[in-house]
Amino acid sequence: MDLYINGTSSISAFDSQQGLRFDNKNRFICIEPDYKLIIDPRQLRRMSRIMRMGLASAIKTLEVASVQTPQAVITATGLGCLDDTGNFLVKMCDPDNRMMNPTAFIQSIHNTMGGQIAMHLKSNCYNNTFTQDVLSFEHALLDAIMLLEAGTIESVLLGGIDELTELKHELTSRLYKAQKLCEGYFGQGEGSAFFSLSSVPSAVKLEAMILSQNSKHGDICDYISNHLALEKKTLILTGKCGDKSDEAYKSLENIFGSTATIDYKKFCGDYPTSCAFAAWLACELLQQKIIFDAIAQPKHIIIYHAYPDRPHTLIHLSGC
């Protein structure tokens, strides 16, 4: 079955008009919209920042795709609602042993975003959250593909969300310094990207998705080699972080050859579901809403994601 991306929306540190939002602490901070124009202000009062980002992206995606209610909602998050989790843990360690507010604990679970979207849409459809660290979005995409190919549903709302908090930035920075991985590191990031998938033809087609199951990644190597032999107007987006962890990409660099390559984390930073940002960026490039000098008008974009000691992944999108 041919699958297409009918609509997409993203909140990230990158904006084609406003540029890149990068602070002096080596952090990529999201350029956020005026949520009052998207979400009822009465709801906003009870929503954390990551919930606002996720719900706003989901609403905009459905508007672009002209879908009122999707038949499945699948979200991916590597670390969940970090701000609420951090607040709850800090208060739990209060030396004065004061009464705790349960709200932060209730909203700290990973599937909070998926539940919030379902409540807003008043939908009781299939709703699932994947939290496989740096492979969360890829597993969520795989679930969406299987649901659509099974023929039980016709449309899926898929998204990847993660936030960057002060506590997370501080702890991760200390860890990277201890492991001597910070040299050349692009920086930590955050973002929310959503997609509407279906079998209805549109401007962007999902050609393939591979979650490598072997240590040598032969399936991905063969796929890229065969594709590049046939298609020259191809852009490769890699998930390099700029540090020592990029050694995981060496096994495929010879296969890329002279093919145009962009390290997409230079625009969003490093976070578990950054692959969702890469997929959004690929959709924008294929529709020429964003143009890079590396390749003016790509017909195919391959997103290649690799972390040390983790399965490598490939997502192939093409313009129609």
Provide φ and ψ at 219, rounded to 5°.
Answer: -65, -40
- Which of 287, 267, 296, 190 lies closest to 20, judged by CA? 267
What's the confidence (pLDDT) of residue 250?
75
User: pTM of this prediction?
Assistant: 0.91
135 within 8 A of 313, measured Cβ to Cβ: yes
The matching CATH number, chosen from 1.10.238.10, 3.30.70.270, 3.30.2320.20, 3.40.47.10, for 204-319 is 3.40.47.10
Q: Which residues pair with 27 in a beta bridge?
A: 188
Provide φ and ψ at 17, rounded to 5°.
Answer: -100, -40
Q: Which amino acid is at 205?
A: K
Angle at 285 between CA 281 and CA 290, to 5 degrees: 90
Domain-wise residue ranges, the chain: 3-198, 204-319
- Which of 146, 162, 161 lies closest to 72, judged by CA? 146
pLDDT per residue rounded down to tens, the chain (320 residues) = 899 999 999 999 998 776 677 776 778 999 999 999 999 988 888 888 999 999 999 999 999 999 999 999 999 999 888 787 777 777 777 767 777 777 767 777 788 889 999 999 998 999 999 999 899 999 999 999 999 999 989 999 999 999 998 888 888 878 766 555 556 678 889 999 999 999 999 999 999 999 887 666 778 888 888 888 777 788 999 988 877 777 777 777 777 777 788 899 999 999 999 999 999 999 999 998 887 776 778 899 999 988 877 888 999 999 98
Looking at the domain that runs over 3-198, which CATH code has it been given? 3.40.47.10
What's the confidence (pLDDT) of residue 95?
65
Q: Which residues pair with 299 in a beta bridge?
A: none
Provide φ and ψ at 243, rounded to 5°.
Answer: -120, -165
What's the confidence (pLDDT) of residue 55?
95
CA distances from 172 to 96, 139, 188, 238, 264 (A): 28, 24, 9, 22, 20
Question: How many other C-beta atoms lie within 10 A of the C-beta of residue 264?
Answer: 23
222 three-state secondary structure? helix
What does the alpha-carbon distance between residue 103 and residue 181 come to, in Å, rounded to a whole number? 36
Provide φ and ψ at 182, rounded to 5°.
Answer: -80, -15
Q: Which two tokens stand for residue 301?
A: 């974009």
Q: Would the CATH topology of 3-198 be identical to that of 204-319?
A: yes
Q: State the burial class of residue 32 (Cβ atoms within 10 Å of its Cβ: 0-12, 13-18, 19+).
A: middle
Torsion 239-242-243-246 (CA) sign: positive
240 within 8 A of 265, measured Cβ to Cβ: yes
CA distances from 166 to 25, 33, 76, 189, 194 (A): 10, 21, 22, 12, 25
127 three-state secondary structure? strand
